[in-house]
Amino acid sequence: MTARRHSAGGEQEFAEERASLVRITFGPLIWAMHFLLSYAGAAVFCAKFPHASEHLDLLVWGIGLATLVALAGIAWQGQRSFHQWRKGNEDSLIEEDADGSSEDRHQFLGHAALLLAVISAVGVIYTALPAFLTATCR
């Protein structure tokens, strides 16, 4: 028998679930902002200094810093989602209980948010790799 945290039901439960529904978008949102910042930053930089290889370090370090910040945000979001998913669901790595209770829905949202955080982290790293491996405006 799993614990029922939402025994109060009603308004409070709805508000809490709405918050966790919004939270599952955080990972992809951070990924999107990092992507926009990296590509727009590189485009503007290379348009302003097309031949300035000595300034290129600035761009690479800027993207590196943005990547660290983005990964930290995603990691924070990921571990919150992990706890939301695992609490009362310790026996399986893949599936939450499927009783259709509000607690199951809560766990499901945590699981979805965690998976989105993982793919967002991979996306952020792949977005940043060209800056470090090619590092040219050509």
Query: What does the binding site for other proteins look like in residue numbers (CB under 8 A)?
Result: 92-94, 118, 122, 125-126, 129-130, 133-136, 138
Shortest Cβ distance from residue 107 to other proteins (Å)? 16
Write phi, then psi, for 81 (nearest 5 degrees): -65, -35
Give the DSSP letter of residue 87: T
Closer CB to other proteins, 3 or 93, in the complex = 93
Listed residue (109, 119, 116) closest to 85, CA to CA: 109
Shortest Cβ distance from residue 14 to other proteins (Å)? 32
Shortest Cβ distance from residue 138 to other proteins (Å)? 5
Closer CB to other proteins, 7 or 136, in the complex = 136
Give the DSSP letter of residue 8: T
- List the end-to-end C-alpha distance of the chain, in Å, as a whole number: 61
Shortest Cβ distance from residue 130 to other proteins (Å)? 6
Closer CB to other proteins, 13 or 82, in the complex = 82
**Distance (Å, whole) CA 52 – CA 37:** 20
Closer CB to other proteins, 7 or 134, in the complex = 134
Shortest Cβ distance from residue 61 to other proteins (Å)? 18
Instruction: Give me the count of residues in the chain.
Output: 138
Closer CB to other proteins, 19 or 43, in the complex = 43
DSSP string, 50-71: TT-GGGHHHHHHHHHHHHHHHH
